[in-house]
Amino acid sequence: MIEYDNYYVQNGPLRVIYPVRASSISTTVVIMAKKNSIRFGDYIQGMAVDSQQVPFLEMMPEPLFDRHGNEHPQPVPKMKLGGGDVVRLLQPYLSTRFFDQARAVVPLALYLALFQYVVLQTPVIDATIIAGGLLAVMVGLMMFMEGLKLGLMPFGEVIGNTLPRKLPLTGVLIIAFLLGIGVTFAEPAIGALQVAGSLVDPVQAPYLFTLLNDRSGTTVLLVGLGVGLAAVLGTVRFLRGWSLKPLIFMTITPTLILSVIAFFNEDLTTIVGLAWDCGAVTTGPVTVPLVLALGIGVASAAGKGADSSLSGFGIVTLASVFPILFVLCLSFYTAYTVPAEEIIARAAEIRLAAEMAASQPQWFEVTPWTEVLLGVRAIVPLVIFLAIILFVVLRERMKNAFITNYGIILAVLGMCIFNIGLTYGLAKLGDQSGGLIAGAFSSVETIAASPLYSFSVGVGIAALFAWVLGFGSTLAEPALNALGMTVQNLTNGAFKKSMLMGAVAFGVAIGIMLGVLKLIFDFHIMYILIPGYTLGLILTLLSTEEFVNVGWDSAGVTTGPVTVPLVLAMGLGFGNALGSVEGFGILAAASICPIVAVLTLGLYVQFKVKREEQKMAAALAEEGEIA
């Protein structure tokens, strides 16, 4: 803004502001130009004709004196805002954050609804309820993400910067481990796994049923232990400057070996898809920022990692792999300690208890109170843990405590609203769409005229549907855009943001399509995972450290709180419509394919850069010979 006496010239519409004395009232007149610019001659003329100089003292109120003749300050009246003023002030702030979530939710919902209506010739059932649920998802995520930034993230940053100064390394790692466990329970998408448990048939997949129902708390706890171990290793890696390559081989190899053993065990073969899907659920909007803030804060306080362009990369990969390993270990322990017959009998008791509870439910067992209670359980224990660490262990005070408390309240409310939207919106829509897609090539009860197309055409339609869903949902993820900008800056423009986003979206699209084909042709997820991770490990050996970090982390940014519940519900609904034993594995396929795509593109970028360097060197050599 340029100041000329009483005039203020701004970029955009011109504001000419000047004080005018009208009788005894001091007012301000504002003239708005219709154009974005004005001729300087007109500006000078306006100053000469329409300006009036008023002494500053004339604009001041009369001084107030007490009875002793002493002047005292003028009382400043409180600003009064009406409802319209509040709306106008908050509208730019709220609209930006709401549309961030709407860009991820609305296109997917419209795509599913149009596909269902046009291609599958079936209107959306309970469309009003689903629309309300999707609105709750957007509002809940908006509030939760804002609360995460204002309330939970400052905790992680302060603790990360303070821990190394007040505790030894062992204490730091213990707290990082406990934090990793706590943030897992706060992940919005973790509830989608628990919802999926009600759709599993205990007779066909008893151990899958028990891990998602009566042992669901243990399953989530083991996932949290995996994230906690990843937080510890990530923090040590930041401090020691370790390469990510050895850690990838040391974690992926035993995980694949256990998966192969489970694959050949007829009781545990259905667990593999769930275990690998658990790795995708953990890398959400709570886990990665909080654990990352702690790790980078520790490394920065220790004088290491702050100047590294790669500080922060790798934590997503570790937080994805260890939960898979831990869930597989839990499944082996359960299989060797609990007979399948006992699980099936227990399942009957669980369903009988559920039917009795449904006839006379408690207040906290009825929606929406169930979702509200889950939201409070997810956030409040984590906040209490962080508060104990900060105030009791470290004896520190939180700056801007009012804003932090406001953020925590927002996070709790947002999680509760999101859970309600998950039940009535995302899960309901995904399950409905997944159950109807099978009608394109097979007979289903919900579509009277099914199959609508021949088998080959119907399978092609289902595969194309899955590909477009994966591509569009990935491009809509805000985290992918942020990762693309980071990579473009780190590589000085050699690896453009559009290239990374395109590679990741293409990889996820291929992965979800393969996952759907796995359900259609009923082949095991290991036929996707073994070739995919073998190729990924080979590409890791050939790639530089920078692209290894980016490539393996790229899978984590695609599994956001919108994509995970939608894809999980769609896969389970699709699997039930086809009579599959389980519908897991789509997220697992959607995680390895972008890794392969980014690493492959990274090798091409490396080759392209080397070729340009060779050409430049040859040109300089020729110039030297000519000279």
Residue-wise pLDDT tens digits, 424-452: 888 888 888 888 888 888 888 888 888 88
CA 410 from chain centre, in angstroms, equals 17
What was the pLDDT predicted at 188?
A: 64
pLDDT at 11: 39
pLDDT of residue 50: 56
Tell me: the pLDDT tens digits for 19-58? 433 333 333 344 444 445 666 666 666 666 556 677 776 6
Global confidence as pTM:
0.76
What 520-528 contacts at long range (C-beta under 8 Å, 24+ apart), as own/partner pairs, is: 520/441, 520/459, 520/462, 520/578, 522/578, 522/580, 524/263, 524/269, 524/272, 525/272, 525/273, 525/276, 525/584, 525/585, 525/588, 525/589, 526/259, 526/260, 526/263, 526/272, 528/585, 528/588, 528/589, 528/592
So what's the pLDDT on residue 15?
40
CB crowding 119-154: b at 16 or more within 10 Å, else e? bbebebeeeeebbebbbbbbbbbbbbbbbbbbbbbb
The per-residue pLDDT for 6 is 38
CA distance 408 to 395: 20
pLDDT along the chain (627 residues), means of 10: 38 39 38 53 63 69 74 70 76 79 85 88 88 91 86 79 81 85 75 67 85 85 90 82 89 94 91 88 71 67 52 75 93 91 83 70 74 83 86 84 89 89 85 86 84 91 90 77 73 78 90 91 91 94 86 76 77 80 82 92 85 84 72
| pLDDT of the residue at 281 | 78
For residue 213, the model assigns a pLDDT of: 82
- What pLDDT score does 20 carry? 39
Are 19 and 64 a contacting pair, CB within 8 Å?
Answer: no
Decide the pairing of beta strands 15-22 and 64-65.
unpaired
